[in-house]
Amino acid sequence: MNGWQEMRSAMTIPGLAALALGICLAAAPAEAQSCPGDCDGDGTVTISELIRAVNISLGSQPLSNCMAADTSGDGTVAINELIQAVNASLGGCPPPSTPPTATATPEPTSTATSPPSTDCGNGIIDAGEDCDDGKVCGVLGDPCDDDNECSEGVSCAPRDGDGCQANCMFPVCGDGIVDNLTEGETCDDGDDLDECIPTSIQCCPSDCMIAECTPTGNRLVVDVDFATDLFVTGLTLFIQYPDGVVSIPTSGNTAAVRERVTSGTFPPPTVNDRNYGLTTLVNDIFGVPEGTALSISFDTCEGAGAPSAEDFSCVVQDATDDTPSTVTEQVSCSVSIQ
């Protein structure tokens, strides 16, 4: 490996430790009044803090784990903010001219289900209720009116799981409650979107169902291409795939997932698989032109037909050029089958 390749490899988050020890780069100055990526506020940005910021960007950790990574205060950690944190790690945090005032930024919240009305569980459908099946002891116990009618330690609460939820509302996909008894839901993240927002800990397709897969032993490889007129230094992509037709072993950022997602253009990508789609971050500090961002090797599933490229989708959630500026709207992506 030549010196140029070593530098490109080192500019990934996993390579920053070696970079900080062995390579000296001119770093852009960090923001004047704060230190991007300094999660614990000790005036330095460590490798573990950079990794934490990347995980927040991918949605595998909550923003509360490192509020300093969100320099814009918009509730997300974008690629340009990761680059600011890298620069602060390499060049050091600037001394504040005035004592900084911490501003708490609330995390995005999912659509919450309405709490039970005061009359929920009385067996009468009152205003604001879809249904009311009365109260039972525990989950599926005997009907009751108050806790005194139940065994010690068991509460008398509105009946749930028979088509009427404990809040006296009909179950619906997107209400944030996984209703697997009457609706067959396997997940429910509180919205009706397929796309997984990077900062979301839980993600779920719009129909609230992720199909199981029994691998056939055969593989299907797809390429994820990106198009732009710019030199891209970082991309955050969400690739949705047809669950029940193809799958990736395990989920999250396990070694089994990382082994299936490779790139010949960028250094090794950072990945978070959700069992129906995956979020991936690729970065190269020197910038690369358009081309293939990464390749994904899927297992095919028993009983499913051969998928087409139209069964996959790709969304550019964040993009940064070599300025660095956010250029998300100037980059597109697509999926093709090898």
The end-to-end CA distance of the chain, in Å, is 28
Given the DSSP bridges, would you call strands 291-301 and 246-247 parallel, antiparallel or unpaired? antiparallel
Q: Is the pLDDT of residue 32 over 80?
A: no
Give SS3 for 94.
Answer: coil
pLDDT band with cut points at 50, 70 and 90 for residue 23: very low
**Stretch 145-161: mean pLDDT:** 88
H-state helical runs in 127-265: 255-260
Contact at 8 Å (CB) between 153 and 200? Answer: no
Query: The domain 215-337: what is its CATH number?
Result: 2.60.40.680
- What's the pLDDT tens digit per position in 316-338? 999 998 887 889 999 999 999 99
Nearest to 130 by CA among 181, 164, 89, 87: 164
Beta bridge partners of 59: none
**Pairwise pLDDT comparison (119 vs 158), residue with the higher score:** 158
Check residue 118 and give its pLDDT: 63
- What's the pLDDT tens digit per position in 188-204? 888 888 888 665 667 89
Q: Is the pLDDT of residue 31 over 90?
A: no
Check residue 182 and give its pLDDT: 61
| CATH 1.10.1330 fits domain 3-91 | yes
Domain ranges of the chain: 3-91, 215-337
- What's the pLDDT tens digit per position in 88-111? 876 678 766 554 455 554 554 444
Q: Please, what is the average pLDDT of the chain?
A: 82
- Give Cα separations from 230 to 298, 311, 320, 322, 324 (angstroms): 30, 28, 9, 8, 11
Check residue 58 and give its pLDDT: 82
- Give Cα separations from 66 to 32, 59, 61, 72, 184 (angstroms): 18, 13, 9, 13, 36
Check residue 10 and give its pLDDT: 45
Task: Read off the DSSP letter of residue 298.
Answer: E
